[in-house]
Structure 1
Amino acid sequence: MRLTSKLLAFGFTALSFFTKVTPQLISNQVHKLSLEYPYIDDGFHISNWDFGGDAIVDSTKGVYLTHDLQHQRGWIWSTRTLPAKNWVVEFEFLIGTGKDDYLFGDGLAFWATKERTTAGPVFGNRDYFTGLGLFFDTYKNGRHEHKMPLVVAMMGDGKTSYDSSTDGLSNSISSCENYEFRGTTEPIKCRISYLEGKYFNVQLSIQGSEYLECITLHNVTIPEDVFMGFSALTGELSDPHQIMRVVTYTYDEKEAEKNIGVKMVEAPIRVSNNSNFGSSFIKLLIVCGVLLGAYYLYKIYVSKSSRRF
């Protein structure tokens, strides 16, 4: 009985510990800069987001920036600006799911810019933007040796045009290739981490894989008061472009500086893993306590039964 009591007491202590820790970690999420199921509120709007062009919101599947139709442009933008000093944005998307066509296009973009909700030729958004554009390009327009699909990052100053003849490479700050983020059956996960003036990182998870490095840069500064957006474009060629989930976090700046490139990009994962570990551990303790209690009661019953005879 003492062993059972001690196990149950330990279980409740652990429960108290995880109850205190988990909310503190989860509070790092910026809910007004996140987009998750069921997407649409009671008024059939998306709280804290605007969408337009050819974008359509599906209350169960997310935001279709374009469907598999020619000459479409769609976008969705946050109504609030990203934190100035640091942030991590994780989002899930699908491009060309279930299509085996040889020709398709054009791709989608992630934005962190001062301008918002203006349709244009750059993956459905305006040209001459101020801030960050991250392009997930699926169609090769220019002559270059890079393989498609291609991820290209560009820092716009409001005066420099996106160069479609080189797929943005001529004005890019970095790029990566050999990541098959089109035509998958499972959503692609992308994580973008930013620490003002010190660190910029892009990672991709393909078909449930671990996060893989795509872009890592230092001494990068994104303008303050930028909005977050996603847009997509089709031309003579087409693809469905879909955003499934967006979650934005902030993190402790001093901790990130100490562990640059390690804890900073792994912090959001720890929220999920710690929470799951705590829940599973507590359930295991409770089950063990119940089994030991049942065994103790059974021993008492057997002892009393033997005394009768």
Structure 2
Amino acid sequence: MCLKEVAVSFLLLLLTNLISAAWNTKDFMKREHSLIKPYYGSGIDLPFWQFMGSTIVTPNYIRLTDDTQSKRGAIWNTVPVNVRNWELQVHFKVHGRGKDLFGDGFAIWYARDPMIEGPVFGSKDNFYGLAVILDTYSNHNGPHNHQHPYISAMINNGTLSYDHDRDGTHTQLAGCEAKFRNFDHDTHVLIRYEKDVLTVSTDIENKAAWKECFEVKGVRLPTGYHIGVTATTGDLSDNHDIMSIRLFELDLPDDIEHRPISDVLRTAKRSRGRPKPSSLSGIKIFFLMLLGSIAIVACVVMGIMFYQKQQEKSRKRFY
């Protein structure tokens, strides 16, 4: 093997190692809070997750409810989320036989008390935490003027009750219409919580791009709560399927805030005496290392080429 081939092989090996190292930074998925197929069969425990009610686990999806009346299903992460800033991506599918009437919908939770069945899309009322609700059933007697399906967010410190008769309009932070039902292509929802800003986006148009649903500033959430997804049917029904759940920690070097678990709506003081984290995130460090390594290898290759040319000139002079 010539020196050029050795240099190229070294560069490829270095790139592979750098990419592997970068995938271990905080910018990427937290496996203890994520759920990715293939799953095990029904009745087998899922690592880091518990399910209850009518939930059925198949190799390719988790069905919280099937298309029959009066069902409740849920799946909850058993590991509390202790990261301050995060992004949650849920790949789901809502489908059924109903053309004009269907329901009720499902909710994605960041809540203090997991695995408690209740009336709010399968989970408890007067909860502590955040609920992002994907509501498919419209109460036509309610005060709202939007169409369904509808996505909304609600935070609670245990004092608020979700009012089904008004579709939760009096307690919601914000919402948007989103026609996510009965598609053949993949549908996704993204929940991003970064520096007290809650952003909900969707990818339901088969464009492989996020479309913002709403953004709310000044949302105070604690660490140590649980991720969950619950669904319910009543007189109307649908299949509510979860294909995957992915939680990513957002690496924000300037964020040293911590929130108390006891109060969802209270702002805590900044902790004092802690060293400020590095201003470079893992991704930035990776690219700096990558550029430096490429420069080093380029210098080595140029040196080798110069050396070989000098050797050729010496041989020509010799003959």
Shorter-chain TM range is 0.7 to 0.9
CA distance in structure 1 between the aligned counterparts of 2:42 and 2:66, rounded to whole angstroms: 25
The count of residues paired between Structure 1 and Structure 2 equals: 255
Alignment-derived partner of residue 245 in structure 1: 244
Contact 1:184–1:207 (Cα < 8 Å) also in 2: no
SS in 2 for 1:32: helix
Residues 18 and 154 of structure 1: CA distance in aligned 2, closer, same or farther (over 3 Å): same
Contact 2:73–2:232 (Cα < 8 Å) also in 1: yes
TM-score by length of 1: 0.75
Matches within 5 A, 1:128-277: 128-141=126-139, 142-177=142-177, 179-196=178-195, 198-209=196-207, 210-254=209-253
Deviation at 1:247, TM superposition (A): 1.1
Contact 2:83–2:249 (Cα < 8 Å) also in 1: no
Matches within 5 A, 1:56-71: 56-58=56-58, 60-71=59-70
Q: Residues 162-210 of structure 1, C-alpha deviation per residue, up to 9 Å, x if partnerless?
A: 0112211110111111x211111123111111124x3211111114321
CA distance in structure 1 between the aligned counterparts of 2:39 and 2:64, rounded to whole angstroms: 14
Alignment-derived partner of residue 51 in structure 1: 51
SS in 2 for 1:215: strand
Matches within 5 A, 1:9-20: 9-10=7-8, 12-20=10-18
Structure (1 or 2) with the greater helix fraction: 1
- The amino acid of 2:35's aligned partner reads L
SS in 2 for 1:254: coil
Say if 2:116 is the partner of 1:101: no
Alignment-derived partner of residue 38 in structure 1: 38
Indicate the percent of aligned positions where both proteins have the same amino acid.
32
- The amino acid of 1:182's aligned partner reads R
- The amino acid of 2:120's aligned partner reads V
Contact 2:43–2:57 (Cα < 8 Å) also in 1: no
CA distance in structure 2 between the aligned counterparts of 1:239 and 1:52, rounded to whole angstroms: 18
TM-score by length of 2: 0.73
CA distance in structure 2 between the aligned counterparts of 1:38 and 1:25, rounded to whole angstroms: 22
CA distance in structure 1 between the aligned counterparts of 2:144 and 2:42, rounded to whole angstroms: 48
CA distance in structure 1 between the aligned counterparts of 2:175 and 2:6, rounded to whole angstroms: 54
CA distance in structure 1 between the aligned counterparts of 2:24 and 2:151, rounded to whole angstroms: 30
CA distance in structure 1 between the aligned counterparts of 2:60 and 2:186, rounded to whole angstroms: 11
Deviation at 1:12, TM superposition (A): 4.7
Contact 1:105–1:239 (Cα < 8 Å) also in 2: yes
Which sections of structure 2, spanning at least 5 residues, go unmatched?
257-280, 291-319
Q: Residues 125-152 of structure 1, C-alpha deviation per residue, up to 9 Å, x if partnerless?
A: 1111000000000110124101111001
Residues 24 and 160 of structure 1: CA distance in aligned 2, closer, same or farther (over 3 Å): same
Matches within 5 A, 1:280-295: none
Q: Residues 234-283 of structure 1, C-alpha deviation per residue, up to 9 Å, x if partnerless?
A: 000000000100111112112789xxxxxxxxx9xx9xxx9xxx9xxxxx
Q: Residues 70-105 of structure 1, C-alpha deviation per residue, up to 9 Å, x if partnerless?
A: 0000000010111241111111000015x4522110
Contact 2:41–2:57 (Cα < 8 Å) also in 1: no
| Counterpart selection for 1:116 from 114, 117, 132 | 114
Q: CA RMSD in A?
A: 2.7
SS in 2 for 1:169: coil
Residues 117 and 43 of structure 1: CA distance in aligned 2, closer, same or farther (over 3 Å): closer
Which sections of structure 1, spanning at least 5 residues, go unmatched?
258-266, 279-309
CA distance in structure 2 between the aligned counterparts of 1:152 and 1:202, rounded to whole angstroms: 9
Alignment-derived partner of residue 75 in structure 1: 74
- The amino acid of 1:163's aligned partner reads D
Contact 2:105–2:137 (Cα < 8 Å) also in 1: yes
Residues 43 and 172 of structure 1: CA distance in aligned 2, closer, same or farther (over 3 Å): closer
